[in-house]
Every structure is written in structure tokens, then in C-alpha cells.
Amino acid sequence: MKRRNFIRNASIASSALFAINSIYPSTKFYNKYKFNLNYAPHLGMFKHHAGNDPINQLRFMAEQGFTAFEDNGMKKRDVETQKKMASFMINNNMQMGVFVAHTIYWKEPNLASGKKDKREEFLKEINESVEVAKRVNAKWMTVVPGHLDLRLNIGYQTANVVESLKLASDILEPHGISMVLEPLNFRNHPGLFLSKSPQAFEICKAVNSPSCKILFDIYHQQIEEGNLIPNIEACWDEIAYFQIGDNPGRNEPTSGEINYRNIFKYIHSKGYDGILGMEHGNSKTKKEGEKAVIEAYKKVDNFLI
């Protein structure tokens, strides 16, 4: 598919969502903070301020100035909840980030194995995820190729994964949707096929589709390989999405060793206007911890002075 057709189809899919009944009209938020990048919190991050209702949580995020939202579990939410969340986001200029597109195999090989039944299961779930993405106005969905197949040479495993992702791209391209491949670190997720950014870059080049890109999770890659800004630079053409978490602890920026102010300054300097998912916990509990998250993002986002 030509890139201009890909972009056109993405626009059509997005426009269709504006036909959804405006369940939650636009809300005026005065004096909210203006972030330089599109940081995306998740449900539960501000529950002590906003309560358990998803819409109230989205409203609190918008009040703080966040312009995006991500939800790994969106696919498992009931359709009515998906529609309500999508309506609120559309009417309040919030972008929908990633959700997990398929079953992740943490302890046994699936895509790396080349097994027909595992590939068919994956493609079926990608088809299902297209409908969710259209419903919630998502342009990206997370894909994790699963566990290594220790009985196969890594070259054969890579070929098996690439073939599955090419078939998935054929499903996604007509809708202007991208799957983003997430390399995960060896400490939290030992034995997975995809762990490093150069490996993800190689796979995306082999698939050669605008529907197959990299999700560069800064937390995972700090543990796995470090050298963050040079690796981001090397992978830049294939990166479509970022996720955030400091190390150690996988909590908000400033709670660990990663210099997020410099990383965000670099990403901004590249003209990035996509989403940076806040896929981390809070280093402190209750309302104090939620306030600390907001203040941490204001601090590291202050990179233009």
C-alpha cells in the first residue's frame, strides 16, 4: 500500500468516529498546564483524585493538561465503556494511545515457532483488534512476538516472526493502523524473542510496512541495552511510539537514574508529535503519589529554557 493511501485511510477511519453520539460533551479546562509532548497516563494512575470511574479519570487527566491516554486492557473492556471513553476523548481533544492487540505468550513460543495454529490465532486477534481500534480511535496497538523457540535457530525464528507480521500488516494497512513491536528487557521478562531495539529495527525493515513499527519503551531499553539517545537515533525511522518508566522501580521520571529531561528534549527536537505512554507506577502512595507524578512530568517537560 502506498503511504499516501495509508494516511488517507487513517484519516477516514478517524473521521468516522466523529459520528458517534456525543455522550460526553467538550469540557472547558482553564489554566491547565501546557505540556510540550503528548504524555499518556493510564487508568488507575490518578484514582485517589478521580475515583474508579473511567470517565472521571479521563476528565482528571485532561484537567491536568494531559493530551493523550493509553490503556493496555482496552480490548477487554465492554463495548459500551469503549464507546463512552472514545466519546470523551474525541470531545476533549485527547488522543488514544496503544492497547494490547493479542494474547502474549510469556512462557512458550508462538510466532517464533512458525506453527500454523499459533499464527492463525494471532491473525484472528489482530482482526478483532482492528474493530476495537476503530471504535476508540486508536492508531497504534501493541504487539509482543512472544517467547523464544529454543529448538530453532534464531534465523528461522526471525523468518517466522517476519512472515506473521507481514500477514498482520496486510490486515492493518487498509485501516491506517500500526502495530508497534515492543522489545522487553531480560530481567522482567526472561526468554522472550524480542528484547533489543536493533532487533526490532531489523524486523520492521524486513516487514517493510507502515503498519509495523517500533514501540521504544525507555524503561525496558535502559535495562536491556542503555545508550538510550544513540539507540533512539539509530532506530528513529521505525519508531512510532514511546513508553516511559524510570529505573530502578519503574515509576515516574525523576524517581530513578534516567535523565528524562534530556531524552524528552531530544525527542522534541526531532519533531516528534506522537504519544509517550506513561507505563509505570507511582513511587509514592495515594494522593501524594499522584501529585508527585504530575509534578515530575512538569519538571522533566521543562526542557525548552
Interval 8-30: pLDDT, tens: 555 544 444 444 445 666 666 65
| Whole-number percent of the chain with pLDDT over 90 | 89
Asked if the structure places residue 23 within a domain, the reply is no
Count of domains for the chain? 1
Supply the pTM of this predicted model.
0.91
pLDDT of residue 219: 98
Asked if the structure places residue 189 within a domain, the reply is yes
What's the number of CA atoms in the CB half-sphere (13 Å) around residue 93? 8
Whether residue 129 is predicted with pLDDT greater than 70 in this model: the reply is: yes
Asked if the structure places residue 71 within a domain, the reply is yes
CATH no. for residue 203?
A: 3.20.20.150
Average pLDDT over residues 118-142: 98
Asked if the structure places residue 208 within a domain, the reply is yes
52 contact partners, CB below 8 Å, separation of at least 6: none
What is the residue range of 116's domain? Answer: 3-10+38-301
What pLDDT digit, counting tens, does each position of 234-279 carry? 999 999 999 999 999 999 999 999 999 999 999 999 999 999 999 9
From the CA atom positions of the chain, what is the Rg in Å?
19
What pLDDT digit, counting tens, does each position of 34-72 carry? 999 999 999 999 999 999 999 999 999 999 999 999 999
What pLDDT digit, counting tens, does each position of 134-189 carry? 999 999 999 999 999 999 999 999 999 999 999 999 999 999 999 999 999 999 99
Asked if the structure places residue 173 within a domain, the reply is yes
pLDDT of residue 32: 85
Whether residue 124 is predicted with pLDDT greater than 50 in this model: the reply is: yes
Asked if the structure places residue 213 within a domain, the reply is yes
pLDDT of residue 16: 47
pLDDT of residue 31: 67
Strand residue runs (E) in the chain: 38-40, 68-69, 95-96, 140-143, 178-181, 212-217, 239-243, 275-277
Asked if the structure places residue 15 within a domain, the reply is no
Q: What angle do CA 286, 291, 295 make, to 5 degrees?
A: 150
**What whole-number distance in Å separates Cα of residue 54 and Cα of residue 66?**
15
Asked if the structure places residue 31 within a domain, the reply is no
